[in-house]
Amino acid sequence: MYAVEMLNVTKIFGHFKANDNITLQVEKGEIHALLGENGAGKSTLMNLLFGFYSLDGGEIKINEQKVEITNPNIANDLKIGMVHQHFKLIKPFTVAQNITLGSEITRNKKIDINATNKKVQNIIDQYDFNLKATTKVEDLTVGEQQKVEILKMLYKEAEILIFDEPTGALTPQETIELLNTIQRLQNKGKTIILITHKLQEIKAIAHRCTVIRRGKSVATVFVNDCTEEKLAELMVGRAVNFDVNKVDKNPTKDILQIENLTMYNSFGSKTLDDVTLNVQYGEILGIAGVDGNGQSEIVEAITGLQQVSSGTINYISNDIKHDITKKSIREIINLGIGHIPQDRHKHGVVLEFSVAENAVLKRYYKSPYAISGRLNKNKFNSYAEKLILENDIRTPHGVKSLTRDLSGGNQQKLIIAREIAEQPDLLIAVQPTRGVDVGAIENIHQSLLKERENDKGIILVSLELDEIMKLSDRIAVMYDGRLMGIVDAKTATQNQIGLMMAGGGTNE
Amino acid sequence: MNRQMKINIITALLTVVVGLVVGMIIIAIIGSNPWSLLNAIYEGTFGSVVNFGNWISISVPLALTGLAVAIGYRAGLFNIGAEGQFQMATIASILVAVTSPFNGLITILLVIIVGIIVGALWALIPGILKAYYKINEVVVTIMMNWIALYLTNYFIVVHFHTSTNLTQTPIIPSTVSLNLKWLTNLTNGSNINAGIFILMLAAIFYWYSVEKTTFGYEIKAVGNSSEAAIYAGIDSKKRIIQTMCLSGAFAGLAGVVYALSAPGYQTTLSVFRGFGFDGITVALLGQLSAIGVILSGLLLGGLRQAGIFMQIQQIPKEISDIIIGVILIFSALSPIIIKKIMKKKGDANE
């Protein structure tokens, strides 16, 4: 029997078919993966299931009954629940308060806090979640916060649980725990839809997998009968090369030396604690860690975006040491440090600028783009045209398109193309493949490796451990603002790095 | 781009139409003939050569304060303080004009320089507070408007008044007025003067610096995304202060033109003259473009002129202010409306 059936579902925005005749059938009690690239139509499909959008064609059946889901409350009543990528929790509230929010247990119109705690603790114990109902959410780790999100669904007695990219912010250990949890929920009879682009996770726990490509469902397969390569090919529409060709390199010369770097945030608490590390010409230094453990601070200290509290950062070019802690951002850029920023909308581009204007963001004031303060926009355009041609950046109306009108992946390509075209000696790439589809990821990885081949220094900060392990020569692991150690990428294991990311065992 | 421009123009025109319709409805409600509004606008602008000259003359400072607000807006700064900057520059201009030992032309140049500097300095304070301490420029400039108002009142009453009237400054000598004989004669003695040439130069300067220079590129980057600007190595603090000063300089220039036009003196004020505030409407309705600002300056000048002619027909001239208010509200809303329209059309085109 099917718990969820979306039959020949179509959703059209203007002339754009976001979902084109998609069929998704999820059996009761199975773990069903939904695989697809960014923009393939997964979110649209789930938004249809939740009643955020209305159907333009097809029908939805829940437990073999045809239903009209016109708003999210109906989805709730049908016992469908979802754990979003970004948690929706109130941090100063306790676990129990967060879980019962919206349907509080009351007595005489007042919240009955004891009964609430008791009921929530019951559910927690019933599913072996190892949490306390009275803990405040702000004191929980990311993995534990996710459990609260799951418990919110269980409290509402949801039977169909949807997980939207649930492992994005987790350490490898937390990921394993989550996958176990999902299996446990399945064992208790829940039906699970797992939205993801991580093939290992699908292989690990899913029974069947529906692949969506460009708004169409291309296949539903039994996971056991299918290799990762096959799944990737279905998703992208062509064979994907997972292996990277790394040339052997024997880096010897430092390009960057960070010593005893310590930083504080505006509230006065330490964000970086006595970090010492070096980067060499011709190597990729990966920086691994769960988001928010000091990686951004290191990057912002090097690029000059944040004031350094104490410590030194020396940048060595042409055998001259430059202390860059006191230099302006522009001086640092002109010394040859490129930066692919983490938040492309915030830092990487001015969204209201044209593609041409963003292409010259770091050279607009130099000749021939400007001569004594006067801009030459023709040069902007020809430079940008070259960039978009060489890097296959797709724009709606060429270089004059507003950057806002480009897709996220193409915005990212524009930023990477721009930064590499500046020919930096040290390139800092922060999450360069976030939100970019598999095909483009391949190209971005190739670009980074090419820089390495050309003897540039590269710092790669990423939350995707696979990416770090694949590309890096050495891996620095951060936890709570401290450097837990630097390991050789050739010999390190996922497990070892995962432990370090969680603050445990260093490289002995 | 072209389509965007078309939509911009259409929304600006619609905004004006809505303002006028609201004005007419109100006139109808108070029991007068609504068409008298359009009649008054016509009378005040093209009704006679004199009216035409006066219309242009009143529009010039409005367009200049419009440029002041517009350049701030480009850098993401909302300069509500054009009023105060205008006010300070006006009184400084009259002071220099009255006391200058030099001949007419040199004094005029001196007045222009002083007026620009005073306006810029009055904007420097909110600029510094914004750049270095992140204090909202809207709040600071509003406060500074009141300081300017009472400071000039105080100055007039205590130090700078005629022997017969405590609340009025001395009149500027006719040699430093911006009046040009041939223009005056051409318009049968209207107030039109060399201010229009000052406005043209200012508008060209505005267009050139915003569209053609690295400075313009940088302030637009700061205005649209200060984080991205900082990332690109732009000194956003410096640009914020510079833009604020430039904005004050335009408002100061408006004060200069006003001071050196008829009647050539200033009185103590209990309410603002509204040139700086109307500059907000001018800038937004003109969608921050130089030509747009000049056109909407003329429109608001026309509405001010219409006020005079409505009064003659026993209709309160404040109707003009209501219309300007409605136009301001819809201009402020128009980016949202435009976005909605573009989105709908965009969806349909994809």
* Cross-chain residue pair A361–B232, CB shorter than 8 Å: yes
**Residues spanned by the domain of A391:** 348-423
Mark whether A69 and A167 lie in a shared domain. yes
Residue A341 lies inside a defined structural domain of this protein: no
Distance CA A300, CA A287 (A): 14
Closest-CA distance, A320 to chain B, in angstroms, reads 22
All residues of chain B having their beta carbon less than 8 Å from the beta carbon of residue A341 are 231
CATH of residue B227's domain is 1.10.3470
Residue A404 lies inside a defined structural domain of this protein: yes
Inter-chain Cβ pairs, chain A and chain B, closer than 8 A: 79
Mark whether A332 and A367 lie in a shared domain. no
Mark whether A377 and A281 lie in a shared domain. no
pLDDT digits (tens, 9 = 90+) for A78-96: 999 998 877 889 999 999 9
> What one-character-per-residue DSSP string does B130-181 give?
HHHH---HHHHHHHHHHHHHHHHHHHHHHTS--SS-TTBPPPPPGGGS---H
Mark whether A70 and A170 lie in a shared domain. yes
How many CB atoms within 10 Å of residue A191? 24
Count of domains observed in chain A = 3
- pTM for this predicted structure: 0.80
> What one-character-per-residue DSSP string does A465-491 give?
HHHHHHH-SEEEEEETTEEEEEEETTT
Q: Among A381, A405, A423, where does a domain finish?
A: A423
Q: Among A374, A403, A423, where does a domain finish?
A: A423
Mark whether A145 and A96 lie in a shared domain. yes
Best mutation target, B217, B224, B350, to test chain A (most A CBs within 10 A): B217
Instruction: Express as a percent the part of chain A with pLDDT over 90.
Output: 62
Mark whether A14 and A142 lie in a shared domain. yes
Mark whether A362 and A470 lie in a shared domain. no
Out of A13, A328, A350, name the one closest to residue B224 (CB).
A350
Both tokens assigned to B235: 């000194």
The answer to whether residue A429 scores a pLDDT higher than 50 is yes
Mark whether A189 and A103 lie in a shared domain. yes
The answer to whether residue B59 scores a pLDDT higher than 70 is yes
CA–CA–CA angle B250, B255, B257 (5° rounding):
95
> Chain B interface residues facing chain A, Cβ-Cβ under 8 Å?
1, 212-217, 220-221, 224-225, 227-235, 346-350
Peptide bond into A368 cis (omega under 30): yes
Average pLDDT, integer, range A295-315: 94
Both tokens assigned to A213: 């490509």
* Cross-chain residue pair B212–A347, CB shorter than 8 Å: no
All residues of chain A having their beta carbon less than 8 Å from the beta carbon of residue B224 are 350-353
Residue A449 lies inside a defined structural domain of this protein: yes
**Residues spanned by the domain of B15:** 3-345
Average pLDDT, integer, range B34-57: 93
Count of domains observed in chain B = 1
Mark whether A115 and A250 lie in a shared domain. no
Average pLDDT, integer, range A53-58: 90
Q: Among A395, A423, A451, where does a domain finish?
A: A423
Residue B350 lies inside a defined structural domain of this protein: no
**Where residue A443 falls among pLDDT bands split at 50, 70, 90?**
confident
Contact at 8 Å (CB) between A134 and A142? Answer: no
Hey, what amino acid is at A449?
A: L
Q: How far is CA B193 from CA A378, B102, B180, B196, in A?
A: 39, 21, 6, 7
Helical ranges in A63-171 per DSSP H:
72-77, 95-100, 113-126, 142-155
The answer to whether residue B296 scores a pLDDT higher than 50 is yes
Out of A332, A351, A365, name the one closest to residue B225 (CB).
A351
Peptide bond into B263 cis (omega under 30): yes
Mark whether A444 and A410 lie in a shared domain. no
* Model pLDDT, residue A123: 93
CATH of residue A282's domain is 3.40.50.300
**Where residue A507 falls among pLDDT bands split at 50, 70, 90?**
very low
Check residue A6 and give left, alpha or beta (phi > 0: left; psi -120 to 50: alpha): beta
CA–CA–CA angle A147, A142, A36 (5° rounding):
80
* Cross-chain residue pair B224–A353, CB shorter than 8 Å: yes
Mark whether A33 and A157 lie in a shared domain. yes
**Sign of the CA dihedral with A13 first, then A19, A20, and A23 last:** negative
Best mutation target, A13, A53, A343, A365, to test chain B (most B CBs within 10 A): A365
When computed from its CA atoms, the radius of gyration of chain A, rounded to whole angstroms, is: 25
Instruction: Express as a percent the part of chain B with pLDDT over 70.
Output: 97
* Cross-chain residue pair B229–A350, CB shorter than 8 Å: yes
* Model pLDDT, residue A355: 96
* Cross-chain residue pair B231–A348, CB shorter than 8 Å: yes
